[in-house]
Amino acid sequence: MLTVREHDLELPDGRNLHYYDTHAENDPELAVFWLHGSPSFGEPPAPLFEAATARGLRWISYDRPSYGGSTGQPGRDVAAAAADVAAVARAQGLTRFAVVGYSGGGPHALACAALLPDQVVATVTLACVGPYGAEGLDYFDGMGVDGELKAAVQGRAALEHELTAAEFDPSVFTQLDHDALRADWSWLNITSGKAFEQGLDGLIDDDLATVRPWGFDLAAINGPLLMVHGEDDRMVPAAHTRWLADHVRGAELRMSPGVGHISVLSAEAEAALEWIRTRTT
């Protein structure tokens, strides 16, 4: 049985980074960083503990700035995640690891792949959002959270107003998504619910970073990369991952028919862990 240990790491800039790792009697050799969605806490994905253990993988994760126990980092870009992941890796004595980014965590996983090429041995994105303003990507077409990210384009004040005034529309999730939230991925209800314990700053900073320049070059990614998306995703359209896969050399694209934003985890996450195992052994 896995135990989740929690740690606090003081960074050179004075921030605190709250992070987690799963511990077993015989720790696997390969650690996998889980980069959480937006909004969420950074706890490692409990629904995937058994699947990871069966494949000799260990989870490490952290609260992005202004979420959970981590200090805020106003003005952060997506690329800033790579430095935080590298700091946690050093604290744990890790020289090689994989990264998995879900939804809003997907761009942060790509940042790690681009900026930590000597350490990241495999990268997976699930339901990843693409870069705003990219040529050939109709960014808001079919996006269920377009009001939120359109407000982010206008700036912090507009985004804060949108987040406090708008009501969540459950129709952005498919029936399979709602089924997953009631079953194996009900864990997301808990982590998303905890996300606002420090207020809205974590989500605001995530959204602003998402629609601003990410701070790294996709062309710098050259390690194994699997990009997975549900064809019926109503929150982040599948076109985003298709565009990314077309612009990252050697990316493997896996589209999941009939699957939405949450149900892609039920349908594809365990297979993605198997992909990591086969690419790193």
pLDDT, one tens digit per residue, over 40-88 is: 999 999 999 999 999 999 999 999 999 999 999 999 999 999 999 999 9
Predicted pLDDT of residue 27: 66
Q: Which of 116, 101, 144 is nearest to 241 (CA)?
A: 101
* Burial class, 152, CB count within 10 angstroms (exposed 0-12 / middle 13-18 / buried 19+): buried
CB 230 within 8 Å of CB 276: no
Predicted pLDDT of residue 29: 75
Predicted pLDDT of residue 91: 97
- Please state whether the peptide bond connecting residue 28 to the residue before it is cis, i.e. omega within 30 degrees of 0: no
Pairing of β 120-126 and β 97-102: parallel
Distance CA 251, CA 221 (A): 9
Residues (pLDDT < 70) of the chain are 1, 24-28
CB 37 within 8 Å of CB 104: yes
Can you give the pTM of this predicted structure? 0.97
Distance CA 199, CA 182 (A): 26
3-class secondary-structure state, position 1 = coil
Give how far the C-alpha of residue 149 lies from the chain's centroid of Cα atoms, to the nearest Å. 17
Inter-helix orientation angle 146-154/201-211, to 10°: 80
Predicted pLDDT of residue 168: 87
Predicted pLDDT of residue 63: 98
Predicted pLDDT of residue 281: 84
Positive or negative torsion for Cα 114, 115, 117, 123: negative
- Please state whether the peptide bond connecting residue 39 to the residue before it is cis, i.e. omega within 30 degrees of 0: yes
